Amino acid sequence: MTEEQGVFIHPQRQINGDITVPGDKSISHRAALFGGMAKGNTHIMNFLPGQDCLSTLSCLKALGVNWERRESEVWIQGQGLENWTEPQDVLDVGNSGTTFRLMLGVLAGSPFASTFTGDESIRKRPMRRVTGPLLEMGVKVLGRQEGNFAPLTIQGGDLKGGVFKTPVASAQVKSAILLAGLRASGETWVIEPALSRDHTERMLRGFGVEVWSEGTQSRIIGGSKLTAQDVSVPGDISSAAFFLVLGSLMKKGELLIRKVGVNPTRTGILDVLLKMGADIQLENYAEICGEPRADLRVRPSELHGVEIQGEIIPRLIDEVPILAVAASLAKGETVIRDAAELRVKESDRISTVVEGLQALGADLEELPDGMRITGKTRLRGGRAKSHHDHRLAMSWTIAGLLSEEGVSLEGIEAAFVSFPSFLPLIEQVTHI
Ligand code: S3P
């Protein structure tokens, strides 16, 4: 779908349902990538068939990795990373920062050139945070603004390990360095200012690689090879977040969201919603393929404002747009700080969220590293734009359902990046 699509979201007062959300985006990317790097057959269950993860699959194909996909199941015939071949054309990562940054790390040790590009948003996203450490390890990089922006080419080669202190907590940066470290001489360490999501470390262990980590430090020893594994992907808590907020703020009803990933590096949204007074229960906790999952039961409640800052930020960074919707309908003030990273996401999510919610009648102001939201406002409704940002498209849909007059939304198709079944699921639980 390329045309901008307009939809009108009518207000709703009741929610009911027993649903599953699609597979976790971060884990799906890694399962495909690691399956392609390993020797042997990897079967991925509940793979997210969203555009971002499909970009990872198509880059793998361009690098000589064979796979087959049927809806949310993927079979990869891994030949080992040393058998990847030079791509015949530019690698298109679409809108996917994870594809881009993780691939840079993986290809750093491959003795050929790879050129990357993507959509308008990806070409504005900073890559020096990855290409900087990779340069130190021994790759050659040529890209716009001294290797900071796509289109960007790397020439891989012999790498040396080292100790890398990253200036921001970013799982994409940490993962790229660790993946390059797999083929570097000696040890490669990453030290982060706060702990980012740890799916790479967990899944690499599942694929038989020794990764040491403690707190904000992780280390990998060069030379380890991956062994193929079957991977079952839990539901994406970042997708479940839209339904958690909707279920909390509806007047009536109850929603059960099954098999949601509850890795502690991702559950900041649960901690914050519970602190705001939400009624959310965790049931049927289990750990599968190194990743915890649980069913989440949510019922309506009165929410109140909270302060969100410091080490929790990387644990909820993708949920800030929907949390801002929740905060505008919660009593009192919510302040979000230490979240300047939002400015370099799929859109500048500090300004797009503040302007977008103001246009719907909410009372909030922009801060350099976050926002201040004063609730509880009347969310009147009105016109909204996704700015080609999937999380905005879905946040404005939830805002429309919770508004007084509804929302006319431009660009809902952006949701396909991470949640292709979003609108049908919304229809299912609200019975529109
Ligand atoms: C991701 C890491 C986060 C997150 C993104 C997915 C990942 O980005 O925002 O949606 O899969 O590693 P950063 O690593 O830049 O924080």
Segment holding 428, helix H or strand E: helix 422-430
Tokens read off for 224: 């380890």
Tokens read off for 151: 């289109």
* Helical ranges in 290-372 per DSSP H: 320-328, 349-359
Known binder of ligand: residue 217? no
Instruction: Identify each DSSP E strand in 5-72 by its residue range.
Output: 6-9, 14-20, 39-45, 66-70
Looking at residue 333, its pLDDT comes to 98
| Bridge partner list, 42 | 76
Same domain, residue pair 246 and 392:
yes
Looking at residue 432, its pLDDT comes to 59
Looking at residue 4, its pLDDT comes to 66
- The CATH number assigned to the domain holding 307 equals 3.65.10.10
d(C-alpha 337, C-alpha 372), whole Å: 9
Same domain, residue pair 266 and 225:
no
Task: Show which of 182, 210, 232 is a domain's final residue.
Answer: 232
pLDDT in tens, 66-96: 999 999 999 999 999 999 999 999 999 999 9
Task: Show which of 198, 232, 266 is a domain's final residue.
Answer: 232
Task: Show which of 217, 232, 247 is a domain's final residue.
Answer: 232
Binding site membership of 339 for ligand 1 (Cβ less than 6 Å):
no
Alpha carbon 329 to its chain's center? 25
Binding site membership of 170 for ligand 1 (Cβ less than 6 Å):
yes
Looking at residue 2, its pLDDT comes to 39
Cα(158) to centroid of ligand 1, in Å? 27
Binding site membership of 26 for ligand 1 (Cβ less than 6 Å):
yes
Best CA proximity match to 139, nearest among 169, 168, 162: 162
Instruction: Identify each DSSP E strand in 317-427 by its residue range.
Output: 332-336, 363-367, 370-375, 382-385, 407-410
pLDDT in tens, 283-303: 999 999 999 999 999 999 999
Cα(291) to centroid of ligand 1, in Å? 17
Q: Which residues of the chain have pLDDT under 70?
A: 1-4, 432
Q: Give the residue numbers spanning the domain of 191.
A: 25-232
Same domain, residue pair 129 and 275:
no
Number of domains the chain is built from: 2
Looking at residue 378, its pLDDT comes to 87
Same domain, residue pair 213 and 347:
no
Q: In what order do the strands lie in the sheet with 73-79?
A: 66-70, 73-79, 39-45, 231-232
Same domain, residue pair 48 and 190:
yes
Q: State if pTM tops 0.95.
A: yes
Binding site membership of 342 for ligand 1 (Cβ less than 6 Å):
no
Same domain, residue pair 7 and 73:
no
Cα(120) to centroid of ligand 1, in Å? 18
